[in-house]
């Protein structure tokens, strides 16, 4: 459903869905990943350092209720009346036995101000029994958003970044999760090593074939304490970075190819300055959003204008 904007924006969706303001509050429940613990690989994805997006209140040694309370205290200074979605964000948040997952999710849902869950995970780490359970929660009128890390739709790239999964596994996960009353999200990184502009635009075409509700995209960032930081220092020729203006145009091209029903949650995300090595655009998410909206207007561009156009 297109909004008054030139793209299907997440804020408008939230207002329509909940008839008011809803804020995500992050939780670190102490998960790991199968490409860190050795079950599929070691070392993790080459770009990954979870400290780049975990808020200070988010520590796995704290009980889930305490993390939610501290998150709500932080956000309520600005907005007094709102509800919250408990955001299981760090690492792979379905990578545990079902009994453990139930306890963690239900601890979060027991909070009086929490009306649903956002669960970030990998496409290769979602069992049918977990999907069955999440379907039961959704049937109880909880908003359950399952957010799959795609990162790329190109298997050569996924191998190069030590993702230890394939795009075919992503397709399978989305198809198994479809039709269960869950809100399905995805995440892509634009500018991964070796990818051309056409590769990145093709992600829009590939993602549009999935039963996906919401998409986050952002540019590649080199952050400290990652394998990619080592690669960037030793072999910088592996990487091709865009100037900000070039990135804005790429996003507009991407949006025009994207299925119009897909809700776009984010165009940009910059890691904290203390962690970020390169590139340093120095802008907040909302500032880049305004730049994208301005460029859409200047180019008379619209989400989905080129969707399904055969070249």
**pLDDT at residue 62, as a whole number:** 87
- Give dist(CA 92, CA 40) in Å, integer: 13
Please tell me the pTM assigned to this model: 0.92
Is pLDDT of 120 > 90?
yes
Query: What local confidence, expressed as pLDDT, does residue 127 receive?
Result: 96
Mean pLDDT over each residue of the chain, to the nearest integer: 92
Q: What confidence tier does 78 reach under pLDDT thresholds 50, 70, 90? A: confident
CA distance 29 to 42: 21
The residue-averaged pLDDT of 4-22 equals: 92
Q: Are strands 114-121 and 83-88 parallel, antiparallel or unpaired?
A: parallel
Q: How confident is the model at residue 237 (pLDDT cuts 50, 70, 90)?
A: very high
Note the pLDDT tens digit of each residue in 26-51.
999 888 888 888 888 888 888 888 66
Residue whose structure tokens are 């379907």: 135
pLDDT at 93 over 80: yes
Torsion of CA 245, 89, 137, 266, to 10 degrees: -10
| DSSP annotation of 182 | P
The rounded distance, in Å, linking the Cα atoms of 83 and 64 is 17
- Please report which confidence band the pLDDT of residue 1 belongs to, taking 50, 70 and 90 as the band edges: very low
DSSP string, 183-201: EEEEEEEET-TT--HHHHH
Contact (CB, 8 A) for 159 and 167: no
The predicted structure's pLDDT at residue 309: 64
- The residues pairing with 187 across neighbouring beta strands, listed in sequence order, are 149, 216
| Fold entry, domain 10-298 | TIM Barrel (3.20.20)
> Taking phi first (over 0 means left), then psi (-120 to 50 degrees means alpha), and beta for anything else, what does residue 44 get?
left
Distance separating alpha carbons of residues 250 and 75, to the nearest angstrom: 33
């Amino acid at each position: 459903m297109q909004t008054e904007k030139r793209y299907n924006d997440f804020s408008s969706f939230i207002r329509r869905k909940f008839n008011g303001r809803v804020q995500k509050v992050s939780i670190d429940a102490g998960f790991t990943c199968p490409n860190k613990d050795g079950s599929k690989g070691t070392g993790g994805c080459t770009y990954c350092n979870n400290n780049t997006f975990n808020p200070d209140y988010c520590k796995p040694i704290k009980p889930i209720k305490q993390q939610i309370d501290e998150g709500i205290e932080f956000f309520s200074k600005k907005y007094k009346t709102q509800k919250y979605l408990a955001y299981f964000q760090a690492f792979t948040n379905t990578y545990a036995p079902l009994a453990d997952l139930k306890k963690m999710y239900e601890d979060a849902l027991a909070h009086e101000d929490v009306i649903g869950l956002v669960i970030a995970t990998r496409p290769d780490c979602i069992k049918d029994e977990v999907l069955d359970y999440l379907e039961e929660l959704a049937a109880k009128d909880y908003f359950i958003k399952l957010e799959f890390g795609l990162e790329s739709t190109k298997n050569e790239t996924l191998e190069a970044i030590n993702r230890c999964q394939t795009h075919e596994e992503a397709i399978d996960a989305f198809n198994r999760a479809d039709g269960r009353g869950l809100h399905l999200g995805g995440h892509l990184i634009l500018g991964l090593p070796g990818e051309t502009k056409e590769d990145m635009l093709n992600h829009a075409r590939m993602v549009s074939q999935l039963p996906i509700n919401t998409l986050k995209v952002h540019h590649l960032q080199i952050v400290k304490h990652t394998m990619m930081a080592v690669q960037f220092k030793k072999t910088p020729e592996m990487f091709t970075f865009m100037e900000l203006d070039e990135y804005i145009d790429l996003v507009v091209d991407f949006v025009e190819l994207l299925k119009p029903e897909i809700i776009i949650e984010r165009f940009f995300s910059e890691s904290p300055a203390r962690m970020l090595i390169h590139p340093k655009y120095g802008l907040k998410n909302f500032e880049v959003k305004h730049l994208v909206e301005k460029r859409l207007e200047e180019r008379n561009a619209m989400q989905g204008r080129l969707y399904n156009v055969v070249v």
